[in-house]
Amino acid sequence: METLESSYLVRSAYRDEWEEAMALAWRTFLRFEADVYTAEGVRNFENFITDTTLHRMFVMGAYQMFVAVADGKIVGMITLRDSTHISLLFVDERYHRQGIGRALLEYLEDYMLREMGARRVTVNASPYGVGFYHRLGFCDLRPEEKKDGIIYTPMELKF
């Protein structure tokens, strides 16, 4: 199923879009999040998005990725780990506040309901993302945590 929202399209990612999506995640992380992480946290995030095992899981269909595409390029991406956990959600800064993050999440919810019968999704929200997730109805599961230099708030949305 493809969703058209104004001037962008939300759909499943193609195999050859992995590098472009991870480059978007890295660029956006550096711009909006890296400044509150330790050097260890920045390094661990980079290691996560460049991990060849993660890429192989994506190619095999065990790690789902959905993208928002505008003018032939990826402007947003969301990934699903372990069937019910948002692993990454990034929107290019030029496309912030245009509903792309919300559209990606709605597409993911529809996919989870249709394909797995799931009625909840979790995320470890970065400090920058906490407000976004709260606006979409997510609730904190625990206070902010820090592990391996990564700062996050465990959250959940029931749908």
pTM of the model: 0.93
Domain assignment of residue 110, yes or no: yes
Q: Does pLDDT of 90 surpass 70?
A: yes
Q: Give the H or E element holding residue 47.
A: helix 39-49
Q: What percent of the chain is modeled with pLDDT above 70?
A: 96
Distances (CA, A) of 54 to 57, 75, 87, 113: 5, 21, 11, 24
Domain assignment of residue 152, yes or no: no
Q: How many CB atoms lie within 10 A of CB 46?
A: 16
**Inter-axis angle of helices 52-60 and 18-32, nearest 10:** 130
pLDDT, tens digit (0-9, with 9 covering 90-100), for 105-118 = 999 999 999 999 99
Domain assignment of residue 156, yes or no: no
Instruction: Look up the domain containing 96 and give its range.
Output: 3-118
Q: What percent of the chain is modeled with pLDDT above 90?
A: 96
Domain assignment of residue 157, yes or no: no
Over residues 58-70, the mean pLDDT reads 96
Domain assignment of residue 58, yes or no: yes
Instruction: State the Cα–Cα distance between residues 41 and 150, nearest whole angstrom.
Output: 5
Domain assignment of residue 66, yes or no: yes
Domain assignment of residue 135, yes or no: no
Instruction: State the Cα–Cα distance between residues 111 and 144, nearest whole angstrom.
Output: 28
CB 64 within 8 A of CB 11: no
Q: How many domains does the chain have?
A: 1
Please report, for the domain that includes residue 34, its CATH number: 3.40.630.30
Domain assignment of residue 138, yes or no: no
What pLDDT score was predicted for residue 67? 98
